[in-house]
Amino acid sequence: MRQSRQIASVMAALLGACGPSESDESQKFDGFEWNHEWSATIDTAVRAADGDSEVAPDACWDVDLGSATGAGVGSGDQAEGANRYDCNGGTGRELVFRWRPSVDGRFTISTFGSPSDTVLEVRSGCEGPSLGCNDDAGGSLASQLVLTLDAGDEIVVIADSYSASDEDFVVVNIE
């Protein structure tokens, strides 16, 4: 047991501590404990098609929802996404939506209406802290988070699949 902990410590040091963390109580979600703090080693600007303007180097999102709200405000195929975020330790790819509320308020973000098992995480921007993580809300395979946000806050809504076999069409609701 001690040897496996030593190996885990060495691996965490080599990987920049991107996996499970045994010490940070603030990063526990649904029984899983993760430390999502990592730093980008390459942060170069990307040029837009016009060749002059720069696109944010940390644009992690697949779909920009603006400040739209409603049932089914966002949707798409998770199989077209990456596997960058995993607040529950899953192995499936996700579709990432950028969203900014137009008013201060309390918002319910969910994946109800998605045909497969989803995990939902909301972060403050691409590299910001996790604002919440949920798997299986209300006895279903859909996920839901309720957050209080200020107008203009940039969040990313990560509609993750529970596992690689659950990658499917996903629906995101923001109400």
Which pLDDT tens digit goes with each residue over 102-149? 999 999 999 999 998 999 999 999 989 999 999 999 899 999 999 999
Residue 73 lies in a domain: yes
Is residue 94 located within the same domain as residue 136?
yes
Is residue 31 located within the same domain as residue 116?
no
The Cα-based distances of 65 to 8, 36, 42 in angstroms read: 39, 24, 27
Token reading at 29: 């979600």
Supply the mean pLDDT for the chain: 75
Domain that holds residue 138: 63-174
Is residue 68 located within the same domain as residue 25?
no
Is residue 100 located within the same domain as residue 17?
no
Residue 166 lies in a domain: yes
Containing 147, the helix (H) or strand (E) segment is strand 144-149
Q: Is the pLDDT of residue 13 over 80?
A: no
Residue 53 lies in a domain: no
**Residue-level pLDDT at 40:** 34
The whole-angstrom separation of Cα 6 and Cα 99 is: 41
Give the count of domains, the chain.
2
Q: Is the pLDDT of residue 153 over 90?
A: yes
Name the pLDDT band for 56 (thresholds 50, 70, 90).
low
Which CATH number belongs to the domain containing residue 165 in this structure? 2.60.120.380
User: How far does the chain reach from its first CA to its final CA, in angstroms?
Assistant: 47
The whole-angstrom separation of Cα 77 and Cα 57 is: 24
